[in-house]
Amino acid sequence: MDIKQHAKLAQVLQDHGLKVTGIRLAILEFLMESEDHPSSEAIYFALREQGIHCVPASIYNNVNILQEKGVLKSLHTGNTETRYDALLDSHSHFYCKKCHRVWNTSVEPPQLECSELPCAQVDHSELIYYGICMDCIDDEDEEC
């Protein structure tokens, strides 16, 4: 990540009232470059692999703070892991029930009109498609 992008991420943290720390920048950089939607455990292992010294609790605590402050989105796919996404724009996801990968889709989530939910104020919605990805389908075909 270049210096301009690094400075932008630092500004995002400051704009959300957060102190800029090396571990927070590393988490955001990793998520911005990741095509997957990793769990805090996966983030920990990836950062360790990059030579960043950290402990799992530090990653877990920081991703939770970043999510609470609106810097990250959390995704709940039905399994026990919470996944994280740095793309905050409205978009949907696909979850493979076999390999457990999650990725963005180009399908726009439906937009509700206020009149459709007269007794509620919606903060956000999550649209996740569940199924088996083409890689896993191809693997099954090869085993037959």
- Reported as a single tens digit per residue, the pLDDT across 18-53 is 999 999 999 999 999 988 899 999 999 999 999 999
Same domain? For 35 and 69 the reply is yes
pTM value is 0.80
Going by pLDDT thresholds of 50, 70 and 90, the confidence category of residue 138 is: confident
Asked if residue 85 lies in contact with residue 36, where contact means CB atoms within 8 angstroms, the answer is: no
Domain containing residue 142: 89-144
Looking at the DSSP bridge assignments, the partners of residue 82 are: 76
pLDDT in tens, 7-24: 999 999 999 999 999 999
Asked if residue 77 lies in contact with residue 85, where contact means CB atoms within 8 angstroms, the answer is: no
Please report whether residue 79 resides in a domain: no
- What's the CATH number where 37 sits? 1.10.10.10
Alpha carbons 78 and 46: distance in angstroms, whole number: 23
More confident position, 143 or 81: 81
- Final residue of a structural domain among 40, 73, 106: 73
Alpha carbons 20 and 12: distance in angstroms, whole number: 9
pLDDT at residue 88, as a whole number: 79
Looking at the DSSP bridge assignments, the partners of residue 102 are: 95
Same domain? For 4 and 68 the reply is yes
Lowest-pLDDT range of 17-21, 54-58, 72-76, 106-110: 106-110
Alpha carbons 100 and 94: distance in angstroms, whole number: 10
Please report whether residue 81 resides in a domain: no
Asked if residue 100 lies in contact with residue 79, where contact means CB atoms within 8 angstroms, the answer is: yes
Same domain? For 67 and 3 the reply is yes
Please report whether residue 46 resides in a domain: yes
Please report whether residue 83 resides in a domain: no
C-alpha distances out from residue 137 to 82, 97, 104, 118, 144, Å: 25, 11, 19, 42, 11
Q: Is the pLDDT of residue 141 over 70?
A: no
Going by pLDDT thresholds of 50, 70 and 90, the confidence category of residue 142 is: low
| Number of separate domains in the chain | 2
